[in-house]
Structure 1
Amino acid sequence: MEERFRRLFIITLSIILCILVICGGVVYCIDPYQQFRKSDLYINDARLEIPGISKHHDYNAILIGSSMAMNHEPQQIDSLFSEAGQDKWSTRNFTLVGGMSDDYDILLNRVFKDGKVKHIIFDFDYFSFAKQRNVIADYLYTDDISNKIKYVLNYTTLENCIKKIKTPVRLDSLNHFYSKSGRAELLRDFMKCRNEKFAETGYNFDYTVMKLHFDSHILSYIRKRTDIDWIVYFPPYSIFEFVRYRDGGHFGEIYRFKKYVVEALLKCPNVKIYDFQCEEGWIMNLSEYMDVRHHSHEFNHEIIRRMSEDMYRVTSDNYLEKLEAFDKIVKSADVDKLLENIS
């Protein structure tokens, strides 16, 4: 009986090992996250694919931030900023849906380790510093052998092998989303989230909390890597997003945080700052939004074009004026009148 049990155990173990070897071999050959080699086909999951792309693809500029910046087109960035500067840009889109500063911390550490980046465009979202998600697959962002084993012997990775075979995504369709824009869509979204409590979804717009996350996850890299040029921009959410901050009692902390960030970045010679939030022509153009935050592709194109032309630049001479304009627009916004204009 004992001998029979031993043989059954050995056979079972051998079968399991064979299955693991086969599965690991499939993952290694298909390599859905490009951990081992470069591929021109993708699964369209930035959090999983960025570390492999960073390691195996050529680039010298990256775009980071949340979905607010996801629809920027690297081709447009390369064309305009190559003309405006002295070197040729080759940009990769490393934006993350719902990106938080702890995500950016892990991402930047990987990118700097690969040593290719010279230019970074960063979409600055307040909510990215008001919450930490820790949902990035950080084991993919290291070169440890144990993490490579975790990669190849992973059921999710195997599922994504099938996804890459069945529905591969090419570079020109990577990390983009398409939604309807217009006043009706904006109104529908605002009415749905108007009374939402940010605390109930884990956000803490406390100045001290946001400052800590910014200092630790972004400012430390900017100060450490003075050889890299940063473009930091404040994206034009619709006025309704700022109204949500105001009416929820968070705008004072956000304003204070923004002022701190601007003053800290102005002291960094390797940073240019652009602000699209203190211009009514942007945040009050209610036909260009698909929800309270996300704007149209037209705005994406215009943001990149204006920054390449050095428009809406924040300087030591004008930053207080821009902050005051921002404060005035938000505090004076009449929601009822805005809703009348939409209806």
Structure 2
Amino acid sequence: MNKDSLNTDYLWFLIIKSLIMKNVDLIFNEKQESTLFGYVMKETENKDKIWFWVTIAMTFFIMLLFALPTIIIDPYFHYHEPLTDYGYTFYRQRYSNDGIVRHFDYDAYIVGTSMTENFKASEASEIFGYNFIKVPYSGGYYKELDHLIKRSFSSDNDIKMVIRCLDYTLLARDKDAEHEEKDTLHPQFKAPEYMVNANPFDDIKYVLNKTILFNETYSTYLNIRNEVPTTNFDSYSNWCSAFTFGRETVLGEYTHTDDVQPEKEFTQDDYEMIKGNVEQNVIATINEHPDTTFYLFFSPYSICYWDTAHSNGTVKWNIEAERTAIELLLECPNAKLYSFTNDFDLTCNLDNYKDQVHYGEWVNSDILVRMKNGENMLTKENYKEYLDEIEEFYSNYDYSTFAVGNEEQ
């Protein structure tokens, strides 16, 4: 723990201590008849029982003093939207997003994995004409994202539109599989269940959380003095400026191999798993809200992702997995489905990527414009042609250009 953290902890300790000690003599000084407790103790024979109940009352009083700052300021929006007098710096998705979708004012939002983190809500608002927010879950499985979407519809907002990313890598998961990544600021803990459920009794883990009180609640209070504004939904979780993009960067994080494995068979079990995942964690919620339009898109992974799939013998398997999802999703009348995997100028230009799958914010901006214009939309009439096109391209691409010694090609 650093010096600043110790000073902050000690400051809050002194504040709470001073609040308690102002009244402690009035309550506990048994020897002084002028005190409330001293009078009661002199007038009763059952002193042990009185001590017991007063101790219980004081315990709850102290706990309430500890909890009140977090309840009032509410740095993770568990109880209310941001207070106008405070500057909220929010970045911990699995603490903040549930409160954001329940308490913020919006009528459209973007949701998905890290593939959606570089979207700018202001651009989406300008393009589609709605009031957008952005609530990504980095690495979030389909079930976790669906739970967040369900929670959004428990708010008072009239939600007109949802943009949701569908990751190839997360299609083939059990329908009840959940994200195992631990909270980034507390690596010893998983993402907190008490922040995303409707159970008020486990809120004690939030309001009596020392780390949240000293770090998040207190820092939100200090933002007033430091004139730090509340985070906006363009910068929220946007990592684009923190990374280097380009061929050298992408090829530096994986190794091409000429050892190509036999094609993996797409089995009935694979089909049933993907079907169950998509039906439970995507389609069911879409069907429950026929007045909301869902814009769904498959994230455009780079050619290097397909190089790895080619080496593993899973190109055709990936495409069959996508075919399964497409045929199911095209039955939803209030869903529009897009894919940019057949934009080979995009996926083969490694200047767009920081690794095999993550693209820059300019790609996110372009996706919004294309969806608005109806480009790259999949329909019952064109999806088979689309699948044939990407299978032909990614099965026969000359991946040797990524071999060691060919990095400059």
Give TM-score scaled by structure 2 length: 0.72
Is residue 155 of structure 2 the alignment partner of residue 132 of structure 1? no
Which AA in structure 1 matches 2:160?
K
Which AA in structure 2 matches 1:180?
T
Change (3 A) 1:52 1:185: same
The alpha carbon displacement at 1:132 in A equals: 2.7
Change (3 A) 1:7 1:114: closer
Contact kept? 1:65, 1:123, Cα under 8 Å: yes
Residue in structure 2 matched with residue 22 of structure 1 by the alignment = 65
Residue in structure 1 matched with residue 264 of structure 2 by the alignment = none
Is residue 106 of structure 2 the alignment partner of residue 66 of structure 1? no
Q: After the TM superposition, which of the residue ranges 19-28 and 58-67 deviates more from structure 2? A: 19-28
Matching residue within 239, 264, 269 for 1:177:
239
Is residue 97 of structure 2 the alignment partner of residue 97 of structure 1? no
- Distance (whole Å) between structure 2 residues aligned to residue 245 and residue 161 of structure 1: 46
The alpha carbon displacement at 1:194 in A equals: 11
- Distance (whole Å) between structure 2 residues aligned to residue 166 and residue 289 of structure 1: 37
Contact kept? 2:168, 2:299, Cα under 8 Å: no
User: SS at the partner of 1:227?
Assistant: coil
Residue in structure 2 matched with residue 161 of structure 1 by the alignment = 217
Q: After the TM superposition, which of the residue ranges 167-176 and 113-122 deviates more from structure 2? A: 167-176
Contact kept? 2:245, 2:350, Cα under 8 Å: no
Contact kept? 1:43, 1:163, Cα under 8 Å: no
The alpha carbon displacement at 1:96 in A equals: 1.1
TM-align CA RMSD: 3.0
> What aligned pairs does 1:178-257 form with structure 2 within 5 A after superposition?
178=240, 179-191=243-255, 206-257=270-321
Contact kept? 2:271, 2:324, Cα under 8 Å: no
The alpha carbon displacement at 1:338 in A equals: 3.5
Q: Which has the higher helix share?
A: 1
Matching residue within 339, 342, 345 for 1:281:
345
Which AA in structure 2 matches 1:37?
H
Change (3 A) 1:311 1:72: same
Which AA in structure 1 matches 2:335?
V
The alpha carbon displacement at 1:342 in A equals: 4.1
Deviations 1:197-222 (A, max 9, x none): xxxxxxxx944333322211111111
User: SS at the partner of 2:162?
Assistant: strand
The alpha carbon displacement at 1:272 in A equals: 1.0
Which AA in structure 1 matches 2:136?
T
Count of matched residue pairs? 326
Structure 2 residues without counterparts, runs of 5 or longer: 1-45, 181-189, 260-268
Contact kept? 1:106, 1:138, Cα under 8 Å: no
User: SS at the partner of 1:63?
Assistant: strand
> What aligned pairs does 1:261-272 form with structure 2 within 5 A after superposition?
261-272=325-336
- Distance (whole Å) between structure 2 residues aligned to residue 137 and residue 248 of structure 1: 36
- Distance (whole Å) between structure 1 residues aligned to residue 254 and residue 109 of structure 2: 32
Which AA in structure 2 matches 1:147?
D
- Distance (whole Å) between structure 2 residues aligned to residue 142 and residue 217 of structure 1: 17
| Higher relative contact order, chain-length normalized (CA < 8 Å, sep 6+) | 1
Residue in structure 2 matched with residue 119 of structure 1 by the alignment = 161
The alpha carbon displacement at 1:15 in A equals: 7.0
User: SS at the partner of 1:41?
Assistant: coil
Contact kept? 1:228, 1:270, Cα under 8 Å: yes
Residue in structure 2 matched with residue 202 of structure 1 by the alignment = none
Which AA in structure 1 matches 2:237?
N
The alpha carbon displacement at 1:16 in A equals: 5.3
The alpha carbon displacement at 1:121 in A equals: 0.6
Residue in structure 1 matched with residue 32 of structure 2 by the alignment = none
Specify the structure having the higher radius of gyration (Cα): 2
- Structure 1 runs (4+) deviating above 4 angstroms are 5-19, 165-169, 192-195
The alpha carbon displacement at 1:163 in A equals: 4.5
Deviations 1:254-284 (A, max 9, x none): 2222111111111111111111002211111
- Distance (whole Å) between structure 1 residues aligned to residue 164 and residue 154 of structure 2: 19
Change (3 A) 1:11 1:284: same
Identical-residue share of aligned pairs (%): 24
- Distance (whole Å) between structure 2 residues aligned to residue 20 and residue 245 of structure 1: 55
Residue in structure 2 matched with residue 152 of structure 1 by the alignment = 207
- Distance (whole Å) between structure 1 residues aligned to residue 160 and residue 51 of structure 2: 59
The alpha carbon displacement at 1:165 in A equals: 4.3
